[in-house]
């Protein structure tokens, strides 16, 4: 488990003079004491119990950054043999720190695959859909399918962020450094960002949203306006987002269902027929639902 310091306490100066510097320092430390996020990640592939995957931790952002940041996540590994890790993409921008690497990853629409080996770790900021737009001066769609060197996109203050943040093994200290880096951008949420986020949250959690027309009807927004909103703030199309969360939900159901009824799964996710569901699943994940379920059943459970 990661090391963690006890929550800082207010310490009053015993000598004459003002207590304000000490109090302010303590308030700053308390603000940067990130809370562990307990709910299970979604979209992890080829792992029988993704919720108990070892070496994975996530932390909530501080309240002032919560309109923009979904969470901070870290993966640490020490492996005797290489392992393949795969995830389904979410409509989120990621700031990624790893030894010798400080990058900003735009939304990638295909499955992410990486072979990990030896001993290493990654620390990342996952921005909420729509939440990264206030940090840049361009539409979020301009970042899609690309990876950027952090200083090239966010300026010279990003140079050396990896060294500063990963110098700590204490996750709370790393999160504090990341939050101190983000705050000087003075990100502000406008009405368009809030609308984009409300739509994204609905698509993420409401499986009854199976068509772009459902968003148009629910939010009373024109189709072209919706497309422009997603281009500016989210970085992918509404149709892509709907399809992706249907597949993420399908993968989650396969993880927890011993003998899936594929027709029932397809119907529950809003597909017109089972064949359409199977085609979508195989196109992104690379296997049919039945083959993926069979492969999962052969994997050992997480320790």
Containing 229, the helix (H) or strand (E) segment is helix 223-233
pLDDT digit string (tens) for the chain, length 303 residues: 343 333 332 222 233 344 444 444 444 444 556 798 877 777 777 766 554 566 889 999 999 999 999 999 999 999 899 888 888 888 999 999 999 899 999 999 888 888 889 999 999 999 999 999 999 999 999 999 999 999 999 999 999 999 999 999 999 999 999 999 999 999 999 999 999 999 999 999 998 898 999 999 999 999 999 999 999 999 999 999 999 988 888 888 887 788 888 888 888 888 888 999 999 889 888 889 999 888 887 765 544
**pLDDT tens digit string along 146-178?**
999 999 999 999 999 999 999 999 999 999 999
Name 36's Cβ contacts closer than 8 Å, sequence gap at least 6.
57, 58, 59, 60
Of the candidates 35, 24, 39, the residue with the CA atom closest to the CA atom of residue 61: 35
Domains identified in the chain and CATH numbers: 27-185 (no CATH), 191-297 (1.10.10.60)
Supply φ then ψ for residue 122, to 5 degrees: -130, 140
Q: Is residue 231 exposed (0-12), middle (13-18) or buried (19+ Cβ within 10 Å)? A: middle
**pLDDT tens digit string along 50-62?**
545 668 899 999 9
- Pairing of the two strands 101-105 and 56-59: unpaired
Q: What is the pLDDT of residue 123?
A: 97
Q: What is the C-alpha to C-alpha distance for residues 232 and 127, in angstroms, rounded to an integer?
A: 15
pTM score above 0.85: no
Structure tokens at 262: 């594929």
């Amino acid at each position: 488990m990661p090391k963690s310091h006890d929550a800082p306490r207010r310490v009053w100066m015993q000598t004459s003079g003002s207590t304000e510097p000490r109090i302010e320092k303590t308030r700053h430390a308390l603000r940067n004491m990130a809370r562990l996020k307990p709910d299970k990640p979604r979209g992890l592939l080829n792992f029988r119990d993704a919720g108990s995957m070892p070496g994975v931790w996530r932390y909530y952002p501080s309240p002032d950054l919560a309109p923009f940041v979904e969470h901070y996540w870290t993966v640490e590994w020490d492996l005797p043999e290489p392992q393949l890790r795969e995830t389904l993409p979410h409509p989120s921008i990621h700031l990624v720190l790893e030894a010798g690497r400080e990058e900003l990853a735009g939304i990638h629409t295909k499955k992410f695959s990486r072979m990990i080996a030896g001993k290493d770790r990654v620390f990342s900021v996952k921005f909420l859909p729509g939440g990264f737009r206030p940090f840049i001066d361009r539409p979020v769609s301009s970042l899609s399918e690309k990876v950027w060197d952090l200083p090239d996109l966010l300026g010279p203050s990003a140079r050396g962020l990896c060294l500063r943040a990963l110098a700590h093994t204490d996750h709370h200290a790393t999160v504090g450094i990341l939050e101190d880096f983000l705050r000087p951008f003075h990100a502000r949420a406008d009405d368009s960002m809030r609308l984009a986020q409300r739509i994204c949250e609905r698509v993420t959690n409401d499986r009854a949203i199976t068509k772009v027309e459902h968003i148009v009807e629910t939010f009373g927004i024109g189709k072209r306006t919706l497309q422009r909103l997603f281009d500016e703030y989210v970085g992918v199309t509404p149709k892509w987002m709907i399809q992706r969360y249907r597949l993420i939900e399908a993968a989650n159901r396969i993880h927890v269902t011993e003998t899936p009824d594929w027709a029932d799964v397809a119907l529950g996710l809003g597909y017109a027929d089972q064949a359409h569901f199977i085609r979508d699943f195989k196109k992104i994940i690379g296997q049919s639902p039945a083959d993926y379920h069979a492969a999962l059943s052969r994997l050992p459970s997480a320790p």
